[in-house]
Amino acid sequence: MSAVDTDKKSAPSLAQLFFASLRLSAFTFGGGYVIVPLMERQFSKKYGWLSEEEIRNQIAIAQSAPGALAVNASLMAGFCLRGLPGALCCLAGTVLPPFTIILCVYFAYARFAANQWVRLVLNGMAIGAAAVLADALIGLVGGIIKQKNLFSAAIMLLAFAAIFLLHLPVWLPLLCAAAAGLLYCGLRSRRGKDTL
């Protein structure tokens, strides 16, 4: 789907795209999956710029691309409607509110970091983040144990040892684990074809 698919009469202006994306991003809390139905409602039902099917197709592609879902989806919608300038306007509108909030938080943190109450709140947030990571780790380890896959268990233990005991940079064990997983899956699929 390209920018030429859209009827020129119904195509929004670059300013309309920017402010529509800005409103979506500024008043949506909860991440990319929250912005999806709101984008569908605004771009399709309210303005009629895109059909619901077009938006769903774009979101499916945006989910498979690296990066934040909200940014990817707005880039695709902007490109479909007005080409590269539309994509850049949607990108600017989507990124500006979180960037501004993070900038304000940075300056507020730099000013109030020594405050005991702020430190306690940040410590509480760190504990919450650690709990979420621990839950994800338990789910991952539990899945490997249920599968009874020695290869996956060995990769997990080797990656843990490489990062926490040998202090290697995280990207190196991840890259090695990905290569080993691809090799393992390739050998398994070839062996499966040989036995058929």
Longest CA pairwise span in the chain (Å): 68
Dist. CA 141–CA 91, nearest whole Å:
38
* Average pLDDT, integer, range 37-56: 80
Picking from 39, 14, 13, 10, the residue whose alpha carbon sits closest to that of residue 24 is: 39
Give me the helices (H) in 10-167, please. Answer: 14-26, 32-40, 52-64, 69-112, 116-147, 150-160
Please report which confidence band the pLDDT of residue 33 belongs to, taking 50, 70 and 90 as the band edges: low
Q: Is the pLDDT of residue 2 over 60?
A: no
Residue with tokens 């702020």: 118
Mean pLDDT, range 63-87, rounded to an integer: 84
SS3 195: helix
Q: What's the confidence (pLDDT) of residue 152?
A: 81
Q: What is the pLDDT of residues 142-194, one digit of tens each?
A: 777 787 778 888 888 888 888 888 888 888 888 888 888 888 888 877 776 55
pTM: 0.52
State the pLDDT at residue 88: 92
Q: For residue 46, how far is the Cα from the chain centroid?
A: 26
- Torsion of the alpha carbons at 63, 40, 50 and 23, rounded to the nearest 10: -100
Tens-digit pLDDT profile for residues 77-131: 888 888 899 889 988 998 898 889 888 888 877 777 777 887 787 778 778 777 7
Nearest to 83 by CA among 173, 141, 12: 12
Phi-psi region of 31 (alpha: psi -120 to 50; beta: other; left: phi over 0): left
Residues 6+ apart with CB under 8 A from 51: 44
pLDDT at 1: 46
Instruction: Provide mean pLDDT across the span 59-80.
Output: 81
d(CA 53, CA 69): 17
Q: What pLDDT, on the 0 to 100 scale, is given for residue 163?
A: 86
CA pair distance 74, 92, nearest whole angstrom: 10
| DSSP H or E segment with residue 188 | helix 171-195
